[in-house]
Structure 1
Amino acid sequence: MTNLQPSREVFITCAVTGSGDTTGRSEKVPITPQQIADSCIEAAEAGAAIVHIHVRDPETGTPARDPRLYSQVVNIIKESKVDMVINFTAGMGGDIVFGSAEKPFPLDEAGTDMVGATERLEHVRNLLPEICTIDCGTMNFGHGDYVMTNTSSVLQEMARQVQALGVRPEIECFDTGHLQLAIWLKNQGLIDDPVMIQLCMGIPWGAPDDMHTFLAMTSSIPKDWTFSAFSISRNQLPFVAMSILAGGNIRVGLEDNIYLKKGVLATNGDLVKQAVKTAEGMGCTIIGPEQVRKNLKLEKRWG
């Protein structure tokens, strides 16, 4: 622990809904554009500077990438006059579900959603959020036949298009090789300074969220990069402290964890408030959206 350089100023990202099958386990997970926008507002008022946004089919709660749904969310946020940095996912459209262990083909059509880089970025191009995430790699994602699929050529093209749009990419790294791929993209001239990454820990079968793996990843991050980190489920809130101790920023939210404590379902605001409490108890100052924009050289899009 002696080599750690704890953060003194931190920002909080709240990932408000995600694309996982959490809606059946908690009625607090937002589904409709109104609910998602309200969760973003709640998180911002609780202390989150950045809101990370997925959208869902309002009727079924299943993950969606319809640009019209993103537009509805953004319009409600704009009307609220509550300031926050908008961060869209660009992960949708990179999903392969194989048929079975013995017959991988044909693919499972219901779960597979594979489109090109340009289509994956349609909502980003239309609405120009300040940040969008790029999932930097391919991996088995949990149990079963689902593979999160992001080839290096797709990532190059997505990074190129995001750069041309003037949107800051947040590179999501789910394993150690993903971080090396992010460094490669930077060396290709496809990511502008300041570089922003997210370490996504504890997701089977990515990087485990033990301290040794986490420190191995943080020690490989270039010193002038800005990073945040999170873990999932019961380790989400402990990772608030872990990320601070390693010199990073914070991510919480119902995308990654639906509980405040054992048996108690959380709202996004609850999780942000707990993160604020932890960070301030460790002597940190929570910075807001204006300071984040200054630090990350973001252009304020609305308000």
Structure 2
Amino acid sequence: MKKIVNFCPTGTQTNKENSFAPIFANEIIEEVLACYEIGITMVHLHARDELGLNTYKRDTFQVIIDGIKKYLPDLVICVSLSGRYFNEISLRTEVLSLEPDLGSLTMSSLNFARQASINEPDVILALIDKMNEFGVHPEIECFDSGMLNYTNFLIKKGILKDPVYINVIFGNVFNAQTDLATVSSILQNIPENAKTCFGGIGKDQLKANILGLVEADGIRIGLEDNLYFRNKEKASNEQLLKRIHTIMQEMDYSCMSSLEFKNLGYGNKKAYHFG
């Protein structure tokens, strides 16, 4: 059985002191190329400027995307439209003119340990409109059942359209955990026909990934969400991917290719001809 492997090499919180995550464009490109050889379906990208600070800038994202596509022209590209540092729609959506395949869409405001990610209802709707303008699919991010409820609401209203792709991210202290009762509730509320991947923050990543293999369509994995291999031993992205691929092999699962994922309808609607 084929499973989606959504690779998140670096996030907003990674740095040279706390992790082995790639920070600068050339590092991210090299990491994606190396991890593609292990097996990934898609990549979820964050960008940093020349000082290593989080940036929304189109030009910075373009360097990363062009560098990846030079060697992996068919890899599914998702860009972060995070509201952690930049709230203005014009800033968060600047990258969409590059016509990536997907753009992240968190379905509510939420707290993290030291910071909030602000996603007001009008902002969520504006992000969807802007993605539609450039043929980009939402990469829906849900941290609990309330966010899934809003996802289902927007599907019923015809605002979110098929094909729907969702990441459910477990382990944030303010949101859903990986206990069986919570996971069961999440599964009961997944929209019909949506492709869904499970990810986890910190120590919950591995458990969430295994649940994603067994109960969902795949996994979200990488140093964006989890910096450690076991205990406080820092991980590399390659270590995390090799471990989950060993587990997948034992369970008779294989990695869905980017082209297979695109042929399900998840390539950029303007840039990719389906079939």
- Give the TM-score, by structure 1 length: 0.84
Structure 1 contact 44–83 (Cα < 8 Å) conserved: no
State the Cα distance separating 1:234 from its structure 2 match.
1.9
Q: Which residue of 2 aligns with 1:186?
A: 155
**Structure 1 segments unaligned to the other structure (5+ residues):** 1-7, 96-111
Q: Which residue of 1 aligns with 2:101?
A: 130
Give the letter aligned to residue 49 of structure 2.
Answer: D
1:10 aligns with 2:23: no
Distance (Å, rounded) in 2 between the aligned partners of 1:212 and 1:292: 30
After the TM superposition, which parts of structure 1 deviate over 3 Å for at least 4 consecutive aligned residues?
299-302
Q: Which of 90, 93, 102 is the aligned partner of 1:118?
A: 90
Selected match of 1:23 from 16, 36, 48: 16
Aligned AA (1:84): L
Distance 1:298 1:75 in 2: 16
| Structure 1 segment 1-303 matched on structure 2, within 5 A | 8-26=1-19, 28-59=20-51, 61-81=52-72, 83-91=74-82, 94-95=83-84, 113-115=86-88, 117-125=89-97, 127-143=98-114, 146-299=115-268, 301=271
Change (3 A) 1:23 1:219: farther
Q: CA deviation at 1:261?
A: 2.6
Secondary structure at the aligned position of 1:113 is classed as coil
Query: Deviation string for 1:217-255 (max 9, x for gaps)?
Result: 121112211100111112212222111221331111010
Residues 172 and 297 of structure 1, relative CA distance in 2, 3 Å threshold: closer
Residue 98 (structure 1) aligns with: none
CA separation in 1, counterparts of 2:178 and 2:167?
14
Task: State the Cα distance separating 1:23 from its structure 2 match.
Answer: 3.4
Larger Rg: 1
- 1:299 is displaced (CA, Å) by 4.2
> What secondary structure is seen at the aligned counterpart in 2 of 1:279?
helix
Matched with 1:99 is none
1:114–1:298 distance in 2 versus 1, CA, 3 Å: closer
**RMSD between aligned residues:** 1.9
Deviation for aligned residue 1:82: 6.1
Q: Structure 1 residues 288 and 155, CA, compared in 2 at 3 Å: closer, same or farther?
A: same
Give TM-score scaled by structure 2 length: 0.92
Amino acid at match of 2:2: E
Count of matched residue pairs? 271
1:23 match: secondary structure: coil
Cα deviation code 1:203-223 (max 9, x no counterpart): 121212222212211211122
Q: Judging changes above 3 Å, is the alpha-carbon distance between structure 1 residues 257 and 192 closer, same or farther for their aligned structure 2 residues?
A: same
Q: What is the percent sequence identity of the aligned residues?
A: 25
TM-superposed CA distance for 1:156, in Å, is 0.9
Instruction: Give the Cα–Cα distance (whole angstroms) in 2 for the partners of residues 82 and 43 of structure 1.
Output: 15
How far apart, in 2, do the equivalents of 1:13 and 1:21 lie? 18
Deviates more, 1:292-301 or 1:69-78: 292-301
Q: Deviations over 1:16-38 (max 9, x none)?
A: 10101443212x21111101111
Q: How far, CA to CA, are the matches of 2:136 and 2:12 in structure 1?
A: 22
| Structure 2: tracts of 5 or more residues without a match | none
For residues 179 and 53 of structure 2, the distance between their equivalents in structure 1, rounded to whole angstroms, comes to 31
Change (3 A) 1:82 1:43: farther
- 1:135 and 1:124 map into 2 onto residues whose CA distance is 16
Q: Which residue of 2 aligns with 1:109?
A: none
Deviation for aligned residue 1:160: 1.6
